[in-house]
Structure 1
Amino acid sequence: MPAFVRRAIPRKPPLTFCPLSRNARSPFAGFPQTPPQILCQAGQVTDTQRAVTPLLTADVDGGTFRLRHATPADLPAMVQLLADDALGAGRETAQDMEPYQRAFDAIDADPAHFLIVGEAVPVGDQAGPVVATFQLSFLPGISRQGAWRSQLEGVRVAASLRGQGLGKLMVGWAVAESRRRGCTLMQLTTHHSRSAAHRFYEQLGFEASHVGMKLTL
């Protein structure tokens, strides 16, 4: 078998999760179906406005947190969150932030892609530390009768806050925003080694319905 073919076939590919139908019992049943309007289409708001205008503020077991659009100033904290596990530690580095900045600029310029951060809200309602992040994208497609789908990526929560409800808050907001925008499906991939992540998404109604594959270029 040619080397490039062998490389294209992972030994154990990542799982691809898709949600249960809307008729199934949803863990987001009590979550607002019409969340606050996403603020930023490219160039419409300033970084200062994004940093101070929350998309959602809520109490979870770990305290009070708010979700907002990421700004360039959040990049170091976001990279640190991405690197805070066995897989991320081997592929992320804060020593050179230029590639991350280029990626941020490309995402920020595209109205179909959003970077969201979660920050702790300390006493006095001042800016708190960034403790979570995720990317949400909206994708058109011909299949499923021309359905739009949303894609969830890079979901990270600080290790000290995992299991306290912040992850569910973020995914719940993403699900509600996706429905508001007319998406009929949300999809994500998670590495086969992340068994805790598999359980987390299954508890939220996602199904391991597909086998995902990736090819390093």
Structure 2
Amino acid sequence: MEILAVLERASVARATRGHIPTIERLLADDPTSPEYVATTTLIGDEVLGPTPSDSDLDAAFNRIDSDPNQSLLVILDTADRIIGTLQLSFLTTMARGGGIRAFVSGARIRAGADSIAIGKEVFTWLANYAKEHGARVLMVAMDKDRAHVMGFFTTMGFRASHEALTLSLCQK
């Protein structure tokens, strides 16, 4: 596992294939997830149950891991337990003079007394990391149902500067 940063309360590392089940659980520990299970600890198989049969997280991991503009990251506590995850994408655009945008999605840190402090450390590091890699802006995507998270980002200087629309391409 490649450690990218050692912070005061946590570390940031590149995810490995072995981290997929834990990342899946962290993503499910959110009210916007169809697999939602509220908890303040990491979720075990006995609570979450089996992975949906149409899920292909191994293939998704392979696509992310093989793309030099993508990073799937995990956040580790001081005991090296995974307590968070996020995906960082670098997008080169024609807009604004061909600038690079750093784009964060799937950001989760398990609930706990220190989660806000850890989140601030991680996103402070992430802003610097993105800038060092040529990004002119750091954007964070979140579901509108996660309004409770918006306050966290605005205290860090993020502002609601863009509107985005989605169109589901999945057949039901």
TM-score bracket, normalised by the shorter chain, equals: 0.7 to 0.9
Task: Identify the residue that residue 118 of structure 1 maps to in structure 2.
Answer: 75
8 Å Cα contact 1:151/1:187 also seen in 2? yes
Matches within 5 A, 1:157-172: 157-160=109-112, 163-172=115-124
| Structure 2 match to 1:207 | 159
Percent pairwise identity? 27
Would you identify which runs of 4 or more consecutive aligned residues in structure 1 move more than 6 Å? none
1:108 equivalenced with 2:101 (yes/no)? no
TM-score, normalization by structure 2:
0.83
Describe the shift of the 1:57–1:94 C-alpha distance in structure 2 as closer, same or farther (beyond 3 A). Answer: farther
Measure the CA separation in 1 of the matches of 2:61 and 2:113.
25
* Equivalent residue for 2:51, pick from 84, 95, 98: 95
**Counterpart contact for 1:82–1:156, Cα < 8 Å:** yes
List runs of 5+ in structure 2 lacking aligned partners: 37-47
Unaligned runs of 5+ residues in structure 1 are 1-50, 123-127
Matches of 1:200 and 1:58 in 2, distance apart?
Answer: 19
The Cα RMSD (Å) is 2.0
Higher RCO (CA 8 Å, separation ≥ 6 residues): 1
CA contact (8 A) 2:71 2:87 kept: yes
Separation (CA, whole Å) in 2 of partners of 1:67 and 1:166: 11
1:171 CA drift (Å):
1.3
**Is contact 1:150-1:186 (8 Å) kept?**
yes
2:81 is matched with 129
Q: What CA deviation, in whole Å up to 9, does each residue of 1:87-110 have, x standing for no partner? A: 124489752586111100000000
> Partner residue of 2:135?
183
* Closer/same/farther in 2, CA of residues 109 and 93 from structure 1, 3 Å limit: farther
- Tell me the alpha carbon deviations over residues 65-117 of structure 1, each in whole angstroms, 9 at most, x when there is no partner: 21110001111110000000211244897525861111000000000000110
